[in-house]
Amino acid sequence: MLTVVIVIHLMLVLGIIAAGGIFAGTNPAYTQYELVHHIKTSKTRFLISEPEILDAIVAAAKECDIPTSNIWIFDILGQAVPRGFRSWNELLQYGEEDWERFDDLETAKNTTATRLFSSGTTGLPKAAELSHNNLIAQHIMVYEARERSYDVSLFLSASNTGVSYFRIDQTPLRNPHVPRSSSSICTLLRS
């Protein structure tokens, strides 16, 4: 089940970035005080929360003037959606749109994709902005910087909820038809 949660969380993060938003995740153990700092620092206007941590989220949102209509429930494990809130699945009903697109290096360097926070060991957590260029550079460092003695190909899996691309590392010791790594890019499609 953890794998499903990770994949759906990844889809949410990529969906936020694809819509032209900026992802700024939090630590689920944050107190109301820490959440207020996070929301203000990250300039958050919309929140998606699991119902188990909703009380602190709602209190922090109220303190930051974020209406409850801007809070969705991340109910991926079938949890009940509390009265007065909407499931994050409602966001999937707005139709299909293309990703926010740009193809020049300066825009990629100057467009924020995520605001990630430090651990806060010397005070409150500090925000670090990662641009689209930063994310691509990280991908290159992890997946393309080292030479392989084998060919890498892609496996495409399509369903009514999305398309996933899985890397298939083909080596003499691996079955070339079995995905080896879990790196995937998921794009929601209209059903």
Q: When comparing pLDDT for 168 and 72, which is higher?
A: 72
- When pLDDT is cut at 50, 70 and 90, the band that residue 166 belongs to is very low
Maximum mean pLDDT: which of 3-12, 24-33, 172-181: 24-33
User: Domain limits of the chain?
Assistant: 2-143, 147-187
Q: What is the pLDDT of residue 186?
A: 35
Nearest to 91 by CA among 1, 184, 19: 19
Cα–Cα distances (Å) from 137 to 99, 114, 147, in that order, read 19, 14, 16
Tokens of 132: 């689209």
Q: What is the pLDDT of residue 67?
A: 96
- Cβ pair 138, 148 in contact under 8 A: no
CATH 3.40.980.10 is right for the domain spanning 2-143:
no
- When pLDDT is cut at 50, 70 and 90, the band that residue 187 belongs to is very low
Cα–Cα distances (Å) from 57 to 27, 34, 93, 122, in that order, read 11, 10, 24, 24
The pLDDT tens digits for 133-144 are: 998 888 888 877
Q: Which of 18-22, 79-83, 141-145, 177-181 has the lowest mean pLDDT?
A: 177-181
Strands (DSSP E) contained in the chain are 47-49, 71-73, 86-87, 112-117, 127-131, 152-158, 163-169, 186-187
Does 178 have pLDDT greater than 50? Answer: no
The pLDDT tens digits for 96-150 are: 777 777 788 999 999 999 999 888 788 888 899 999 999 888 888 887 767 777 7
- When pLDDT is cut at 50, 70 and 90, the band that residue 153 belongs to is low
Per DSSP, the residues of 114-147 read: EEEE---TTSS--EEEEEHHHHHHHHIIIIISS-
Q: What is the pLDDT of residue 95?
A: 74
- Cβ pair 39, 12 in contact under 8 A: no
CB atoms within 10 A of CB 111: 16
Does 168 have pLDDT greater than 70? Answer: no
Q: What is the pLDDT of residue 134?
A: 92
Residue 130, beta-bridge partner list: 114
Residue 169, beta-bridge partner list: 152
- Cβ pair 80, 89 in contact under 8 A: no
